[in-house]
Structure 1
Amino acid sequence: MQTLQIQKALKQKGFDPGPLDGVRGASTVAAIMAYQRANGLVVDGLVGPMTSAKLFGGALPAGQSSLPRQTVPWMIGAEALLGVKEDTSDADNPLIMGWAKALKISYANDETPWCGLFVAHCIGTQLPTEPRPNNPLGARAWLNFGKASSAQFGAVIVFWRGSPGGWQGHVGFYVGEDDKAYHILGGNQSNRVSSARMPKGRFLGARWPSQVPDPKAGPRWLDASGAMSDTQA
């Protein structure tokens, strides 16, 4: 609902967000950035306090006390992809292959670990000017992404796989945690986009987009339900 209100406000002010469908797609992001540029705001594609105040004339839409999810839009995109899975036959899922093509990332097939590709897609579509690691397919490369962060909702979380000093890893987005595990929304988790519990002992680091203010939200505690993952790529 929040995205639809933003789209309507942009349309009324002469900035075309594409279809008024409540989906924060490329056209909506471009319209937000164009509006920010025209109004002397920080051009980041996010509807934070300054942009929302300008866009809605100093007041948020009726019934809205804040627009918190608009400050972590990559999570909206990530959640929308829950259930997407690789093609386990000789073919490839064209959706996953399309993520690589759109980002101009060399990617052979969906049998190649794609956790880093998923993160790159979610960040790239929602924060198009945010720099990505040089090798976004490499999970540990995301330790060089953005800026250091605490483990909080939307943070990019990197884990080691194989051995702490090796090169293998896994990367996804922090959703919450329990005493023993981080709950991660990521790609290539049981061959699909899903939420999985990753052991805290495999944690390497948390990162936050450099162009987005760090909310310093702190941990989000969840029930310890679901099996612990040991093999995510």
Structure 2
Amino acid sequence: MDFDTWLIKRLTAHGVYGAAQDTAHGRGVIAGLKAFQKRFELPVTGTATAATIEFLRRDPQVLGSSLVIFNGRPEMPVEPVWMRDARRYLGLKEIPGAKSNSTIMSWAKRFGGWVASFYGNDDIPWCGLAVGHWIAATLPEEKLPSNPLTAMNWSTFGRPVSVPALGAILVFKRPGGGHVGFYAGEDRTHYHVLGGNQANSVSITRIEKVRCQAIRWPTTGGEPVGGPVCLSAAGTTSRNEA
């Protein structure tokens, strides 16, 4: 059982989770964590802190007893929650021609307003849309760029970090525009990027480091864990993500 599945099951067992029973660490999980933390007078962060996890491990039937039963749990994931959510969509592709992928289109609909009106089909570059969806779904209090569809606007998102860690937001220049995705590692010359609209799909691809314009981190995303992740130079290399 992965960590997010375990977390949802424990929140459900404690009666503070009412959303879908899936593996998505979304608004239902955040609301459940806040309710649970408030109940037990823990700092209300909406995140799975170490103290919160220890309380969640307890059997809800014996919380008021001197006897405490603990349930096992998977190891805390190193990847931040927004990157874990993005991984669930690896392999998602555009639909060539007049049709569009309903999942990609649903991301625009959730934004509503001008984004939903503007985003008429999945032929429109959607790397910024994907990153915006994954951040908004997992960090609902995070302030997004006013125009999340324009990749270069992510260069002022959150706060800057000098050294990338798993999940850092990387912004790249390309001919005629930009590209944005999440840091998954690096080799000597390229970053390995988890993102959307890479070969018209959600994938992990290599992008030259010299193209990188900014490395950012969400202000509500806690502190980066670890640092650079060294990988081999194997894998697909992207040169234009239009």
**What is the TM-score with the length of structure 1 in the denominator?**
0.87
Give the number of the structure whose alpha-carbon radius of gyration is greater: 2
CA contact (8 A) 1:44 1:211 kept: no
Instruction: Determine if the alignment matches structure 1 residue 18 to structure 2 residue 31.
Output: no
2:168 to 155, 178, 193: 155
Q: Which residue of 2 aligns with 1:98?
A: 106
Identity %: 39
CA contact (8 A) 2:170 2:181 kept: yes
CA contact (8 A) 2:169 2:217 kept: yes
Deviation at 1:90, TM superposition (A): 1.0
CA RMSD of aligned residues (A): 2.3
Change (3 A) 1:212 1:41: farther
CA contact (8 A) 2:168 2:183 kept: yes
Distance 1:203 1:120 in 2: 19
Instruction: Determine if the alignment matches structure 1 residue 8 to structure 2 residue 9.
Output: yes
Where structure 1 has 5 or more consecutive residues not aligned to the other structure, the ranges are none
CA contact (8 A) 2:16 2:36 kept: yes
Distance 2:141 2:83 in 1: 17
Aligned to 1:195, what secondary structure does the other structure show?
strand
May I ask how many residue pairs the two structures share in their alignment? 227
TM-superposition CA deviations, 1:130-167 (whole Å, max 9, x none): 111111001011111111122110111001112xxxx7
Q: How does 1:1-233 map to 2 (within 5 A)?
A: 1=1, 2-56=3-57, 61-62=71-72, 64=74, 66-69=75-78, 72-104=80-112, 105-106=115-116, 107-149=119-161, 150-162=163-175, 168-233=177-242
Partner letter of residue 10 of structure 1? L
Change (3 A) 1:223 1:206: same
Partner letter of residue 5 of structure 1? W
Distance 1:92 1:63 in 2: 39
Where structure 2 has 5 or more consecutive residues not aligned to the other structure, the ranges are 59-67
